[in-house]
Amino acid sequence: MIKIFVDAARNIQTGQSTAGAVIITNNKQRQLKSDLPHTQNNQEAEFLALIWALKTLDNTTDMIQLYSDSQILIDAIHKKYAKHYQIYVDEISTLVSCHKLFLSQWLPEKENLGAHNLALQALK
């Protein structure tokens, strides 16, 4: 099983958005950060951060456990619907469809500090 902790950060003055992810596979941790395309708000950045993180994975993974502090992202994944972000929900569904099991769970920001700090580092 692969565990993914993902978060986004956004500078409201410049519109710059970034992503951070901690990916744990076979007890080995990878810390990743990246710039994201220009976004309208932090919610959009959260969706794009997850899409970016999923694209870094090997498609042969059987199980993925996602952790995010974005309630809207986790709710959208569970419902397979987001009024303003359906295009991203559809892309996420496509990316996870090749895996046998995909679980997602909301967690408080204080428990997602690794991904959060990586996203903030990329923003600087």
Which of 68, 66, 49 is CA-nearest to residue 106?
68
| CATH among 1.10.287.610, 3.30.70.60, 1.10.3470.10, 3.30.420.10 for 2-123 | 3.30.420.10
| Residue 92: pLDDT band with limits 50, 70, 90 | very high
Average pLDDT over residues 51-66: 89
Query: How is residue 58 annotated by DSSP?
Result: -
pLDDT-derived band at 98 (thresholds 50, 70, 90) equals confident
119 pLDDT exceeds 80? Answer: yes
pLDDT band at 124 (very low <50, low <70, confident <90, very high): confident
> pLDDT higher for 28 or 38?
28
